[in-house]
Structure 1
Amino acid sequence: MYTIEAFILMDTEGKRIIAKYYNHVMPTLKEQAAFEKNLFDKVRRQPGGEILMLDGHIVTYKNSVDTFMVIVGSLEENELLLANVLQVFHEALTILLKGPPEKRAMMEHMDVVVLALDETIDEGVILEAEPNVIASRITRRVADNDLPLSEQSLTQALQSARDQLAKSLLS
């Protein structure tokens, strides 16, 4: 059932920005770091490529301004499906960040990036394949929580807490 083994976002120097490994693939940080170093060495030499095989995995990647977005799957997975998921995530970020995903914008809006990733992939399973749907779900969440608690009046803070409690009880 698991389709995606890992999602990795790294900068053009090979430094990890975000990495999520699913289904206990490469469970130790040491294994992950070694894989990411090897991955970066390959991707850096082939910036125009999109799909490669590495250490018994299919890797799809996309260079976006000053970052590399990577999805890792098993050899049995369809590489076109993996590439499509990566494209959907990239397009969702382009919508949400109002421009091509670049390191500075993603670092400033890390919460949005993580939400977009979680709306796209959950524990290695593809949840959504439409970038507009992903973006609309996230913008709705962000709009609901526009003001930080420190800037809300006491009444607004109590109402927000009441709403969140009601949501958690009904779930």
Structure 2
Amino acid sequence: MDGGGKYVLLFSLQEPSLYTVKAVFILDNDGNRLLSKYYDRELYPSMKEQKNFERNVFNKTHKADNEIAFVEGMTIVYKSSIDLFFYVVGSSQENELMLMSVLNCIFESLSQILKKNVERRCLLDNMEGVFLVVDEIIDGGVILESDPQQVLQKVNYRVRKLSIIQATSSASCLLLPASPFLLSFSPLIGVS
């Protein structure tokens, strides 16, 4: 209360931001990193700090039955499957439902790609697809997609596109960007 009998409320409002996700990581049942992406470079700038944070998060969550944890001032949502732990990290004021929608999208998308066999061995065998899924859902900390079906369509398109490029390049065709300079010399370099 101030001198005039009025209550003074002091609080800080965090300005809304699109940069919702601070980090995503997947650990095995021993707490070893299989995948990690940190979107806030100031959060844990060194590999050593990141691994210490991941170890701390794992130690506090791997035996708990909860889905949300608060560790080192960060909001963390997590899920386990067989021998994997999936984590999505946001700031302390972040909406847990937003983070949970990202976590569920990652998990459901990977479940489809891995044919419901979400375990360490299958994940490691398909790391290229795992990175594609994460990149389709989050870009620089901004949530791009939360619908697993949309993610799968985009990933499938990108995988098909990469397969076509690889098949074409293995057939000794030269793929070049379309520019007037290159097209004017196309007979000389085998591009028509």
Normalised by the size of structure 1, how large is the TM-score? 0.86
1:105 counterpart (110, 122, 131): 122
Q: C-alpha separation between the residues in 2 aligned to 1:45 and 1:137?
A: 35
Runs of 4+ in structure 1 off by over 2 angstroms are 144-152
Report the RMSD for the aligned CA atoms in angstroms.
1.7
Task: Spell out the pairing of 1:1-171 with structure 2 (5 A cutoff).
Answer: 1=17, 2-24=19-41, 25-46=43-64, 48-146=65-163, 148=166, 152-154=170-172, 157-158=173-174, 161-162=175-176, 165-166=177-178
Give the residue type in structure 1 aligned to 2:53. F
1:169 maps to: none
Give deviations 1:37-93, integer Å, cap 9, x for gaps. Answer: 1111111221x2210110100110010221101001101100111011100111111
Q: C-alpha separation between the residues in 2 aligned to 1:150 and 1:11?
A: 37
User: Percent identity between the aligned chains?
Assistant: 37
Tell me, yes or no, if the aligned pair for 1:62 and 1:68 is still in contact at 8 Å.
yes
Q: C-alpha separation between the residues in 1 aligned to 2:153 and 2:119?
A: 20
Q: Where does the alignment leave 5 or more consecutive residues of structure 1 unmatched?
A: 167-171
* Superposition deviation, residue 152 in structure 1: 2.7
SS at match of 2:57: helix
How many residues matched? 159
Q: Where does the alignment leave 5 or more consecutive residues of structure 2 unmatched?
A: 1-16, 179-192
* Superposition deviation, residue 6 in structure 1: 0.5
Q: C-alpha separation between the residues in 2 aligned to 1:88 and 1:12?
A: 21
Tell me, yes or no, if the aligned pair for 1:71 and 1:82 is still in contact at 8 Å.
yes
Tell me which protein shows more helix as a share of its residues.
Answer: 1
Q: C-alpha separation between the residues in 2 aligned to 1:135 and 1:64?
A: 20
Normalised by the size of structure 2, how large is the TM-score? 0.77
* Superposition deviation, residue 119 in structure 1: 0.3
Larger radius of gyration: 2
Tell me, yes or no, if the aligned pair for 1:8 and 1:70 is still in contact at 8 Å.
yes
SS at match of 1:45: coil
Q: C-alpha separation between the residues in 1 aligned to 2:158 and 2:118?
A: 20
* Superposition deviation, residue 151 in structure 1: 8.1
Tell me, yes or no, if the aligned pair for 1:6 and 1:21 is still in contact at 8 Å.
yes
